[in-house]
Chain A
Amino acid sequence: MTDDVAVLGVGLHPWGKWGRGFVEYGAVAARAALADAGLDWRQVGSIVGADTVRGGYPGYVAGATFAKALGWQGARVTSVYAACASGAQAIGAARAQILSGLADTVLVVGADAAPKGFFRPAGGSRPDDPDWLRFRVLGATNPTYFGLYARRRMALHGDTAVDFAQVKVKNSAMGALNPYARYRKRVTAEEVAGSPTVADPLRLLDICATSDGGAALVLSSTDFARRHGRAEAVRIRAVSTVTPRYPNTVLDLPDIATDSAVAVAPAAESFRASIARAAYEEAGVGPEDLSLAEVYDLSTALELQWYEDLGLCAEGEAAKLLREGATAPGGRIPVNASGGLASFGEAVPAQAIAQVCELTWQLRGSAGDRQIPGARVGIATNQGLFGHGSAVLAVR
């Protein structure tokens, strides 16, 4: 078990399609996090940026660009990219600096200005890049992979389109209460069923949009937090950034095929399940200890998959857990109290950081109308393209 790091401050720029640059979103979130932490930017020893792929050099190499926007003050700089897991990697890098004594305080920032429509690979001809190949050879967009997973669940576990729609209904009801969410209207099951099919069996309202947004955290050592009068600050107890184990037998984005299991038996647990387990082991807790979870609901069906991968229920029982109301507010283990990606849309390098902002508000008891009463332990999980695990476990 490693030591904790304290979350001194959190900040978001509202999600939306604002038509401005990612630097502005990141700087707004950073200033909000610094104000929340009660720190002057010039007191911060290190900045870690989660890169967007927009804007030439990945996000102008994000850490330095955010530092410049806030005003150069000499801080140590780090920039990381890990697709959807970029935010967790940024938090992981910040934590490592704090725990090793390289920095007392670290500002973590991620922001994106998303393009319209499907995510697509960078230009040019790159036949050695799996992400380029799946578009070139198959036209396999992200939603088609979500469709494959959803159909597989229907065939294996008996999930239905009604179950998937219910995830959207649940998350949109929470998003309606979140001032930072892009979509703040409750959605009905009939509206989901009436939206056009994008990738069978998933409809438009089953699939998360792409958004502009920015998120930031100020992290510190627990000693610094105590000296700063924040002894009771929410703490990050685990950051899981694991990779898959060979053979990875689930068809993951952006691959055209899985590994072969002919020579080596696959591990008993899937890659996604291993992401959560690594976080639980590092934190010394289990799924039964959780007060809430923020999961990467790129699609409604994927949220159900996460229930099982997090160990909230046995394999195949996620829809039952949902139907019982266990993952709704007031249930045994509320999931996506923020409204989730269903209400935010994905702002790639900001999203995992935003998940931790929500955990922090919930664990502080300051989540307003969305508050899960008595929240003490929360986990945020996602999976980035190319094999990037991402989970952050926070406690108070």
Chain B
Amino acid sequence: MSRTHMPVVEGWFTGEGDGFRLLGTRCSACASVFFPREDTHCRNPGCPGGELEEVPLSPRGRVWSYTDSQYRPPSPYVTDPELPWRPYALVAVELEAERLVVLGQAVPGVTVGDLAVGMEVEVVPGVLHEDAETVRTTWQWRPVRGRAV
């Protein structure tokens, strides 16, 4: 029996494998990009306001900064208190084309020791948490180094 895959937030990302992308919106009047998506009004105060269209964000960017979470975060972050806490890295990534910085978890196994400011990373699908019925999906950042080259 296959489990249900559910995104942690509806409408923030789409696709699978190499086609996985974060989803933002772009204002048709001023070209400002928003992530998390704005669906009602453009937030550029100098913009008369255009249509907000869904756009995929660049799949690759460069590390703006990074850190990790050595202690178990509180709810509503979902963890299994029965299991020992396993720290994960958090990466803030600058997307050149959109000129914005997006925070995300690093893929499992990547630690702060594997990261550097300016390093190229790519967005990939990941699992935030899962149980017998549901797999809760999210986006994660993975270093590009050593893959494509």
Contact = CB atoms under 8 A, between A and B. Distances in A.
Contacts of A137: 8-9, 128, 138
Contact of A133 (B34, B36, B118): B36
B2 to A, nearest CB: 24
B31 A155 contact: no
Interface residues of B, number: 48
Q: Which of B45, B76, B97 has the most CB of A within 10 A?
A: B76
A262 B67 contact: no
Given A148-B92, A151-B117, A263 B68 contact: no
Interface in A111-135: 117-118, 120-121, 123, 125, 127, 130, 132-135
Contact of A127 (B9, B45, B101, B117): B9
A289 interface: no
B67 A147 contact: yes
Contacts of B68: 144, 147, 197, 199-200
Interface string B118-145: 1000000000100000000010000000
A260 B33 contact: yes
A259 B43 contact: yes
A349 B46 CA distance: 34
Contact of A264 (B8, B34, B44, B97): B44
Interface stretch (A177-185, A231-239, A250-258, A313-321): A250-258
Contact of A148 (B67, B76, B102): B67
Nearest to A128: B36
Interface in A138-152: 138-141, 144, 147-152
B73 A141 contact: yes
Interface string B78-121: 11000000001010100001111111110000001000111000
A256 B103 contact: yes
A265 to B, nearest CB: 10
A136 B77 contact: yes
A263 B30 contact: yes
Interface residues of A, number: 48
A199 B70 contact: yes
Contact of A152 (B27, B36, B64, B128): B64
A127 B7 CA distance: 12
Contacts, number: 150
A140 B98 contact: no
A188 interface: no
A384 to B, nearest CB: 19
Interface in A26-59: none
Interface string B31-74: 11111100000011111000000000000000011111111011
B81 to A, nearest CB: 14
A135 B97 CA distance: 27
A202 B71 CA distance: 12
B75 A120 contact: yes
B57 to A, nearest CB: 9
A131 to B, nearest CB: 10
B74 A261 contact: no
B14 to A, nearest CB: 16
A125 B79 CA distance: 16
Contact of A135 (B30, B64, B74, B105): B74
Given A137-B9, A198-B71, A246 B44 contact: yes
A262 B104 CA distance: 21
B74 A133 contact: no
Closest 8 CB pairs of A and B: A147-B67, A139-B73, A155-B117, A139-B77, A120-B74, A152-B65, A261-B99, A260-B100
12 contacts: A132-B76, A133-B36, A139-B73, A139-B77, A140-B69, A144-B90, A152-B64, A197-B68, A246-B45, A249-B100, A251-B103, A256-B103
